Structure 1
């Protein structure tokens, strides 16, 4: 009988002594390996696209969201601008947007007048007219006002000089009918100078009579602040 190798003898003794522990260790490795493979397989399945088919055709759900429709307004831009015309703008647009749509101010525009009289931040309303006077127009209006002795706004007692002497151009204690008022009568209103008065008359000629006193705010340069000053002094019917 051959003699057993000492190393083999030692290993055999260790296996015999720790047989139970080795079995548990191997079992743990098998369980852990199976659990790891299960997780990897599950993740692989989740990444694969799922395609639902019906009668051999792929089904796909499409959700279309219609953008909210924004209201539009029409604004007439004329005078010393590069491209005068009627423009369609978004509701809530400002005077600056209308001027930009018209290509901006032309070289003939009176920039001092625009800076002083035009509120670029004023919100536009449908049917509003924005008129930018040229330098020559402003000079002519101011010169005419100087000859009459009424520059800028005034009050109900404002007077104009004529060849026959001084006379009142606005009714005392009454309201001014903005549909029939003359240049001088309009200038007698607080905040309405020569240029604004001319703009009111131009608007009236182009669009017809004002239907309400609030409609005067459609005239370029007449915003809520000026309207608040003159609303108790104007009318659209007989005085």
Structure 2
């Protein structure tokens, strides 16, 4: 049987988002078209990267566009269609990783349940109720203004995360019908388990008052959500 590394889901999604859905933010900037506070900007990043909310993607793109154009970067920071495409591909691609944990003779039989599990996991991530709560006072260092924003997400709290749960099941010498039922049971926990709170911070920066608040490495902060799924 093949071994699945801890949280391969995070690695897979991060790579997809990095190459297809999110562009690199600009370095230089001119005046932003929309004046937003750091908490508001953080909220847009959260709802873009974690929730893939269409309205937030559009508003964040509009806010960052002058900064990106001035820095000779692609005008759009995020592509809503690319984010949706990543989500659409996720169950099949990650379902294969799960199915490959099982003996070759039963992979075809367990694949639908494995894809269901992957679909429930990505739905739990995208459906997390997240909100930026407060921003610390702005600090200035080497001419760069930075505001650290606290945020929290309400996430499903499963008894055992999907990766170790699937590994344990694959090692249990279950028969085909037992393996299928086991994967379905793991999948169900992502739809029925109670919630937990994930709290973290997200920094946004700018060089001038007329520039957009931004974070060049937003995805790296939000990828931590997988450790709670």
Q: Could you say whether these structures have the same fold, taking a TM-score greater than 0.5 normalized by the shorter chain as the test?
A: no
Shorter-chain TM-score bucket reads under 0.3
Normalized per residue, the structure richer in helix is: 2
Greater Rg over alpha carbons, structure:
1
Which TM-score applies when normalising by structure 2? 0.22
Q: Relative contact order: is structure 1 or structure 2 higher (C-alpha 8 Å, sep ≥ 6)?
A: 2
TM, length-normalised to structure 1: 0.21
